[in-house]
Amino acid sequence: EDQVTQSPEALRLQEGESSSLNCSYTVSGLRGLFWYRQDPGKGPEFLFTLYSAGEEKEKERLKATLTKKESFLHITAPKPEDSATYLCAVALNTGNQFYFGTGTSLTVIP
Amino acid sequence: NAGVTQTPKFRVLKTGQSMTLLCAQDMNHEYMYWYRQDPGMGLRLIHYSVGEGTTAKGEVPDGYNVSRLKKQNFLLGLESAAPSQTSVYFCASSDRGGTEAFFGQGTRLTVV
């Protein structure tokens, strides 16, 4: 069965304390892996797409990496405004769906 | 450029009532999706469409119907609302399969 698992469920960081969020997947035929940010009461906001193992993407304090079994979202020197829920999703070579993980709720304390 | 727009943003229904949620996108995307988001369960796909006039079932389609009469619009209908359909509903669109999807702001639906 295709699965997407995110860890940890929740993470509290001090401002400036770098860390990583994990998204592991067990799927047959990965077409792409996607990271989203979701603020309370809002829709998910697209961050990154990764298509192949070894690929990396960066945006401000965020860096996403991909291996054959998992993806990491590295947050360097986070600020309170980085507080949000981060979702990952996968698309498969077969079918037209995205499969979402349940997210990591990140809180950055000033 | 509005992206993906959902209406309404909030709605309260009584059990057994019907309603339609409207999603409109202005990005000329082929694919459109309806998800529901419940605490602890993540985003689950209800129905999706790969082009004008097409629809397909997702993971949790029971109790919902959809139509895609125009490329830019995707309608989600609840014929007889049940309390189990209390949720936040998100519409999304993507250029094609396997590319990033862009989401609307959501509709919070409460069925009492």
pLDDT for A2 equals: 65
B23 touches A at CB < 8 Å: no
Partners of residue B106 in chain A, C-beta under 8 Å: 41-43
Nearest to B32 by CA among B48, B43, B45, B17: B48
Mean pLDDT of chain A: 94
pLDDT for B25 equals: 97
Report which secondary-structure segment, H or E, holds A61. Answer: none
| Local confidence band at A29 (pLDDT 50, 70, 90 cut-offs) | confident
Q: Is there a contact between B91 and B33 (Cβ–Cβ < 8 Å)? A: yes
Among the partner residues B59, B97, B102, nearest to A96 by beta-carbon distance = B97
Q: Is the pLDDT of residue A28 over 90?
A: no
CA B49 to chain centre: 11
Q: Is there a contact between B33 and B92 (Cβ–Cβ < 8 Å)? A: yes
Nearest to B45 by CA among A58, A74, A2: A2
Residues whose CB is less than 8 angstroms from the CB of residue B34 and which lie 6 or more positions away in sequence, other chains included:
B21, B23, B45, B46, B47, B48, B58, B64, B66, B74, B76, B89, B90, B91
B14/chain A closest Cα distance in angstroms: 23
Among the partner residues A43, A46, A102, nearest to B90 by beta-carbon distance = A43
pLDDT for B78 equals: 96
